[in-house]
Amino acid sequence: MGKDIGAKIHGTYIFYGKIKSLFIEQILLYRYNGKKAVDYMKSKYSGYMGKLVEIDLGAETVREYPWSDKERELYLGGKIMAARILCDHLTGNEKAFSEENWLVIATGPLTGTGAPSSARFNISAISPQTGILASSNCGGSFGFHLKKAGYDALIIKGRCKGRKWLEINDDEFIFHDAEALWGTKTGECHEKLAELCGKKNFGRLCIGPAGENLVKYASVISDERAAGRTGMGAVLGWKGLKAITVSGSRSVEVYDREKTAAYIKKWVAYLKEHPLTGSQLPRLGTAGLVSSMQSHSILATRNYSAGQFEDFDSVSGETLAESYNVNNSGCLGCTIRCRRNVKVDGKVVKGPELETLVLFGSNLGNSDMQSVLDLNYLADELGLDTISCANTIAWAMEASAKGIWNCGLEFGKPDGLASLLDDIAHRRGIGDELAEGSKRLSEKYGGTDFAIHSKGLELAAYEPRRAVGQGLGYAIANRGGCHINGGYAVIAEGLGLNADPQTPKAKADLTMMMQNLMEAISASGQCIFTSYAFFPKALLANPNGILTKCVNSLLPHLGWGIRIMNRFPRMLAVNLPIIHHTAILKYAVGMKMDLGRYLEIGERGYNMERLINTRFGISAENDKLPKRLTDVPQDPDDPSTRVPLEVMKRTYYKARGWDENGIPTEKTLRRLKIK
Amino acid sequence: MIKVKLFGLLRLDSGIKEIELEAGAVKDIYTELEKASDILSAKKLDACVVLVNGKSANKNTRLSDGDEVSFLSPVAGG
């Protein structure tokens, strides 16, 4: 390993200015035998800042991590870059709460370039919730400021001696004592960080009490946006790192400024014209899906025992917009602006996303919208993932009703949930047990059949028995029960298109394609909401039209065609006018890109994540759903209303080039240049 | 009486959440809704997903007293 490139000056680490690059080159020659140091110098590609740094919290040292242009071409950035770094480091023996658990905060090449919805960053590490690879994506402005400081990624190793927060100003890394911040909620912590830094224009992220107290599903909060899933807040809490601030004086360069600006203008116009990204999301937010989910019987209700909630309109996006929404806003540089702003205790705060609305609403049998707004705000303040938190409470309510665990919680009674969230975050009373999540609770008390998780991660708001492709996605997703990482097939099964939601046909192939696509979008630094505009306006704006009906009817029969495209993505050596993501990489980054290459990068990322997980023991037997969803029909009179998981899994493994045990074959790994 | 409920942008644009009216078929509702708001044009209603008592329906679906008809704007994204 290389030497440190910083010097300790009263607890401050300052890079060696102009002689730095020479010194780094020398070090990097030691690092990877057989590779030329020049490979790791500044990137030939624009968009990137060309530098990744390792931060050793225990030793309080900082050094550059080697990363070549070849690696940029293979992995782009974000979660795939993080997966490569962790794939090179993890053996399968590392625990979430250990010094060997590196936490990678990574941006993509488009972060900060002005490309639509590109203010994203990703956090990856081993999850305390699942024990396998985690990734959690976040908006806000932290990613942009990280790049302005000159970094594409931070690799955080070890554990602080005591409690710290880290201030990054360009090349300066300062470790501060965090005793005064410890115990603060995320909003107060954000305010204090601004005072301590004395800055207005900077990026910040922090954990709340939940992360400090190692709640398994603790989130990381940045500008009221959350890297919510998989417990990354608990990893930072164990490391003793309360917060990171970052500011910089650099700028993100683009390859062809004129063409980039023109293309962004064209893309923004397209997004504004599109019915989803131009009207639906800005005006109703993701919450606008509630009523549609109700109509398709996929609205998680009372711990996924049903797909419809009799009082759904009380917690619908329309009601939110009519009676609670103050205005909408967006992450830095986003034209979609899906964020709802609502009032809680007279203060304007971020409103709930769809997942939170459903899981604190219908899934708890709760029709009190204001209570959902309050719980959403409180969860963010405490640093709790709303999805896992609400799901765990739903399990507890059902367990209590069944007499399995008499915790006193009841469906339809939100009173007292605010203090319960506080107890969870501080691990008091039953909150201490709920802080472990539904998997561990059900293994302790019973009730695993209705513990709604996969691999330890609780599911999102879509009840999958009436959208079976989404059910497959939940089961096989690399990070556990996630709708996005699972491919979001539900968009073709009722939300957008309306292909037969009960058939397993083509769902495995569709899921794989969507996963690869979203993996690449995330790695490039963009919000996946830009992908909703992939579905042409002509299809979405007219669900009763002949064209849409034809597509809906044909889709289940096109699995073979999607399979061929998945297997031979290089056939798709084109840039489609509806998929702007590939062309922008050419103009802003200067990287040769087309749809085929893009999909292949996504496929590479997905397989690398799976490879890491197999080292931690993941195989086909872990790709599962609770029995409620696979064995019990939602409609007792219609046996098709359950998830036919095994048949879809077999097809999916074949399509992925994995063996029957769900392990990527050597041939697949070599084809994708992972090995 | 038939209870008609609107969802999505159709509801936000028209300001109509729910109305009750007489109708023998879904297509009869079109006429009444067009009268109720300029926003509720036949073209916009044609683009909606229509449900009668929670089940998929179309313009020609017959209605009985007490039925509930929902018009949902096409949506996606979560």
Mean pLDDT score, A448-475: 98
Question: What CATH number was assigned to the domain covering residues A6-247?
Answer: 3.60.9.10
Beta bridge partners of A272: none
pTM, 2 dp = 0.93
pLDDT digits (tens, 9 = 90+) for A476-511: 999 999 999 999 999 999 888 889 999 999 999 999
AA identity, residue B7: F
A544:B51 CB<8 A: no
A471 neighbors A629 (Cβ within 8 angstroms): yes
Give B35→chain A minimum CA distance, Å: 22
Enumerate the residues of chain B whose CB falls inside 8 A of the CB of residue A549: none
Q: What does the angle CA A572 – CA A576 – CA A577 come to, to the nearest 5 degrees?
A: 180
How open is the CA angle A612-A614-A615, to the nearest 5 degrees? 70
Radius of gyration of chain B (CA): 11
**In this complex, is the C-beta atom of B73 within 8 Å of any C-beta atom belonging to chain A?**
yes
In this predicted model, what pLDDT tens digit does every residue of A251-297 receive, in sequence order? Answer: 999 999 999 999 999 999 999 998 889 988 999 999 999 999 999 99
Whether the CB-CB separation of A383 and A425 falls below 8 Å is answered with: yes
Mutation site for B-interface testing, chosen from A271, A277, A279 by largest number of B Cβ within 10 Å: A279
Question: Cβ of A461 under 8 Å from any chain B Cβ?
Answer: yes
| Closest CA of chain A from B50, distance in Å | 9
Cα–Cα distance, A53 to A28 (Å, whole number)? 13
Residue A462 sits at the chain B interface (C-beta within 8 Å): yes
Of the partner residues A291, A338, A495, the one whose CB lies closest to the CB of residue B7? A291
Q: How many Cα atoms occupy the beta-carbon half-sphere of A162 within 13 Å? A: 11
* d(C-alpha A38, C-alpha A53), whole Å: 17
Assigned token pair, A503:
């058939």
Reference A228, options A323, A130, A135; nearest CA is: A135
Inter-chain residue contact B74 with A483, CB threshold 8 Å: no
Question: CB distance from B18 to chain A under 8 Å?
Answer: no
Average pLDDT of the segment spanning A53-65:
97
pLDDT tens digit string along A618-629?
A: 999 999 999 999
Q: Are A514 and A487 in contact (CB under 8 A)?
A: yes
DSSP category for residue A278: I
Task: Reply yes or no on whether the pLDDT at A33 is more than 80.
Answer: no
Of B8, B49, B74, the CB nearest to A541: B74
DSSP state of A301: B
Distance, in Å, from the CA atom of A285 to the CA atom of B77, rounded to the nearest integer, reads 9
Put simply, whether A485 touches B (Cβ < 8 Å) is no
Q: Would you give the distance in Å from CA A281 to the centre of its chain?
A: 19
Q: How big is the CA angle at A231 (ends A229 and A232), to the nearest 5 degrees?
A: 95
Distances (CA, A) of A444 to A396, A438, A441: 12, 10, 5
Q: Give the chain A residue whose CA is nearest to the CA of B69.
A: A295
Domains of chain A by residue range: 6-247, 287-458, 467-671
pLDDT at A538: 82
Is the minimum CB–CB distance between A542 and chain B shorter than 8 Å?
Answer: yes
Residue whose tokens read 């640093």: A383
| Cα A164 to Cα A180: distance, rounded to the nearest angstrom | 10
Characterize the bridge pairing of strands A133-138 and A121-126.
antiparallel
Question: Which of A354, A498, A542 lies at the smallest CB-CB distance from B78?
Answer: A354
Three-state DSSP class for residue A226: strand
Query: Using 50, 70 and 90 to split pLDDT, how confident is the model at A226?
Result: very high
Cα of B60 to nearest chain A Cα, Å: 13
Pick from A619, A632, A526: nearest CA to A579: A526
Query: Given an 8 Å threshold on Cβ–Cβ distance, is B76 in contact with A483?
Result: no
Across the strands, what pairs with A64? A53
Contact A540 B76 (CB under 8 A): yes
Closest CA to A623 of A391, A454, A415, A373: A454
Q: Does A671 have pLDDT greater than 60?
A: yes
Contact, A443 vs A458, CB < 8 A? Answer: no
* Cα separation, A356 vs A460, whole angstroms: 9
Tell me which residue in B8, B54, B58 faces A318 most closely, judged by beta carbons.
Answer: B8
What is the tally of helices (H) and strands (E) in chain B? 3, 5
**Which residues does chain A have within 8 Å of residue B46's beta carbon, measured at their own beta carbons?**
542, 544
- What SS3 class is residue A433? helix
Find the angle CA(A663)-CA(A437)-CA(A518) to the nearest 5 degrees.
Answer: 45
Rounded-to-integer distance, Cα A494 and Cα A319, Å: 21
How buried is residue A544: exposed, middle or buried, by Cβ count under 10 Å (0-12/13-18/19+)? middle
Q: Where are the domains of chain B?
A: 2-72
Interface test with A, best of B5, B6, B7, B26 (most A CBs within 10 A): B7
Pairwise CB contact (< 8 Å): A491 & B54: no
Q: Does A20 score more than 50 pLDDT?
A: no
Out of A160-174, A207-221, A319-333, which region has the weakest mean confidence (pLDDT)?
A319-333
Q: Check residues A528 and A89 and name the one with the higher pLDDT.
A: A89
The partner residues of A154 in beta bridges, in order of sequence, read A53, A105
Question: B51 to chain A: which residues are within 8 Å by CB?
Answer: 295
- Please tell me the predicted confidence (pLDDT) of residue A543: 84
Q: Is A491 at the interface with chain B, CB within 8 A? A: yes
Q: Which helix (H) or strand (E) segment is A604 a member of?
A: helix A595-615
Q: Quick check: A160 and A144 in contact, CB under 8 A?
A: no
Question: Who has greater pLDDT, A577 or A21?
Answer: A577
- Which value does ipTM take for this structure? 0.92
**Confidence (pLDDT) at B43:** 86
Return the pLDDT at A8. 36
pLDDT at A24: 36
Q: pLDDT exceeding 70 applies to what percent of chain A?
A: 94
**B12 part of contact set with chain A, CB < 8 Å:** yes
- Which option is the CATH number for A467-671: 1.10.1060.10, 3.40.225.10, 1.10.599.10, 3.40.50.10860? 1.10.599.10
Please name the residues between 293 and 312 in chain A that touch chain B, using a CB distance below 8 Å.
Answer: 295, 308
| pLDDT at A3 > cutoff 70 | no
Q: Give the residue from chain B lying closest to A530, CA to CA.
A: B77
**Smallest Cα–Cα separation from A180: which of A238, A237, A242, A244?**
A242
Quote the CA–CA distance of A674 and A663 in Å, as a whole number: 14
Distance between CA atoms of residues A109 and A362, nearest Å: 39
Residue B75's pLDDT band (boundaries 50, 70, 90)?
low
Give the side-chain half-sphere CA count within 13 A for A535: 26
Residue B56 pLDDT: 83
**Per-residue pLDDT at A254:** 97
| Residue of chain A minimizing CA distance to B55 | A295
* Cα–Cα distance measured from residue A219 to residue A136, given in angstroms and rounded to the nearest whole number: 9
- The encoded tokens of residue A16 equal 């060696």
Predicted confidence (pLDDT) per residue in A405-428, tens digit: 999 999 999 999 999 999 999 999
Query: Each residue of A562-605: pLDDT tens digit?
Result: 999 999 998 998 888 888 999 999 999 999 999 999 999 999 99
Question: What would the pLDDT profile of B23-72 be if each residue is shown by its tens digit?
Answer: 999 999 998 999 989 889 988 888 888 989 988 888 899 999 999 999 99
CB atoms under 10 Å from CB of A646, counted, come to 13
What's the start-to-end Cα distance of chain A, in Å? 21
Report the chain B residue with the minimal C-alpha distance to residue A295.
Answer: B54
Nearest CB partner across the interface for A280, out of B5, B70, B77: B77
Q: How would residue A40 be classed by pLDDT, with cut points 50, 70 and 90?
A: very low
Query: C-alpha angle A669/A459/A470, rounded to 5°?
Result: 65
CA dihedral of residues A433, A434, A436, A439 (deg, nearest 10) = 110
Q: Which residues pair with A384 in a beta bridge?
A: A218
Contact assessment for residue A209 and residue A114, using Cβ atoms and an 8 Å cutoff: no
Q: Which of B9, B11, B78 sits opposite A286 (nearest CB)?
A: B78
* Cβ atoms within 10 Å, residue A577: 10
Closest chain A residue to B46, measured at CA: A544
Write the residue in A281, A483, A544 that is nearest to B47 by C-beta.
A544
CA distance B52 to chain A (A): 10
| Cα–Cα distance, A18 to A37 (Å, whole number) | 18
For residue range A383-395, what is the model confidence (pLDDT) as tens digits?
999 999 999 999 9
* A170-203: burial string, b at 16+ Cβ within 10 Å, e else: bbbbbbbebeebbbbbbbebbebbeeebebeebb
Q: Which residue of A has its CA nearest to B11?
A: A318
Furthest C-alpha separation in chain A: 74
- Hey, is the C-beta of B13 within 8 angstroms of any chain A C-beta? no
Flag whether pLDDT at A39 surpasses 50.
no
pLDDT at residue number A578: 80
Does B75 contact A at CB distance below 8 Å? yes
| CATH of region A287-458 | 1.10.569.10
Q: Measured between CB atoms, which of A286, A316, A318 is closest to B77?
A: A286
What pLDDT sits at residue A333? 85
CATH superfamily of B2-72: Beta-grasp domain (3.10.20.30)
Please report the pLDDT score of residue A36 as a whole number: 38
| Average per-residue pLDDT for chain A | 92
- Write out chain A residues lying below 8 Å of B14, CB-based: none
Contact B62/A at CB under 8 A: no
